[in-house]
Amino acid sequence: MDNTSFWSAIPKMKNLMLSLILILGIVAVVVFVLQYMWRYVFSYKLTQTSVDILLFGRIPIMRIPFDDIVEIRTVGFPGCLWAGMTGLRNRAFGRTVLIRRRGGVFSNSVLIAPDHADEFVREVLRRRSR
């Protein structure tokens, strides 16, 4: 190997490393936004008769009546990967609640990520059994 070709390749490697660092930085920012800031976009509210999904904490974008819920349970990351779901999660990581319903415009399954997923499921089941 020629010494001149080695030294001429160093600036190209520096550019590659800078590009890689920039890409990793962008990925880190996206993960941070999805994990910590997205919860201000989607929120969830339990009423006496339904699970309401709200945009910015005020605008209802979906209402799932308790009577339409066929199944509700918490799922981990692998359970979130199948297709045919409407994903309205407000963070990238953490326990997720899968709600299967009788019908739906786009799909019959909805994924949400309330702060306390297990408590959320227990409360929905309690309210639904009334």
**Core vs surface per residue 49-67: b (16+ CB within 10 A) or e:** ebbebbeeeeeeebebebe
Average pLDDT over residues 69-94: 66
Q: How far is CA 81 from the centre of its chain?
A: 11
Residue 41, classified by CB atoms within 10 Å of its CB into exposed (0-12), middle (13-18) or buried (19+), is middle
- The 10s digit of each residue's pLDDT in 107-119 is 688 888 888 889 9
pLDDT digits (tens, 9 = 90+) for 17-60: 888 999 999 998 887 777 677 777 888 899 999 999 998 889 99
Place of tokens 């997923």: 117
